[in-house]
Amino acid sequence: MKELDIEKNLLYYVRLVKRLYEKLLSDVASRCDLTMAEADVLLFLKEYPDYNSAKDIALLREVSPAYVSRAVEILVQRGYVTTVQDKKDRRIQHLYITDLAHPTAEMLHEAQMKFYEMIVDGLTDDEFADLVETVGKCIINIQRAVE
């Protein structure tokens, strides 16, 4: 295969990163008898416990409410997530990981950490700092362009 030119193949690189992430998480999800949607919800709730409504998850993960709703329904049935009605707005249900789900959520988190380690493998601390700074600038540009 010829070496890829980044100017022409940036989207290819983004897809590769996404494919690796999904592969690592789907491997753990299947071992835990979870769908990717269920794994996504559990991992999100572990990482961002303050954003604990289905609406938060759908908005911040940029997935459909139906994707989140179905996953939450199954996770509640399995005893992995509990719901608590919001005291101010009865339409909002707050989602919490149960003790039963903590080991599974931790396994998913470990897969995510492995992903990050694989991405930065071989980088020095300075190279990593430069990468974070550069990607951060790119993200700001992307957010500006999308808005």
pLDDT of the residue at 8: 64
pLDDT of the residue at 14: 87
Report the number of distinct structural domains present in the chain: 1
How far apart CA 48 and CA 102 sit, in angstroms, is 14
Domain ranges, residue 27: 6-146
Residue 140 falls inside a structural domain: yes
Residue 85 falls inside a structural domain: yes
Residue 1 falls inside a structural domain: no
| CATH code for position 137 | 1.10.10.10
Residue 83 falls inside a structural domain: yes
pLDDT of the residue at 66: 94
Residue 64 falls inside a structural domain: yes
Burial zone of 81 (CB within 10 Å; 0-12 exposed, 13-18 middle, 19+ buried): buried
How far apart CA 70 and CA 120 sit, in angstroms, is 34
Chain mean position to CA 1: 31
Residue 57 falls inside a structural domain: yes
pLDDT in tens, the chain (147 residues): 556 565 567 888 888 999 999 999 999 999 999 999 999 999 999 999 999 999 999 999 989 999 999 999 999 999 999 999 989 988 899 999 999 999 999 999 999 999 999 999 999 999 999 999 999 999 999 999 988
Burial zone of 22 (CB within 10 Å; 0-12 exposed, 13-18 middle, 19+ buried): middle
H or E element at residue 18: helix 6-31
Residue 89 falls inside a structural domain: yes
How far apart CA 45 and CA 59 sit, in angstroms, is 13
pLDDT of the residue at 1: 52
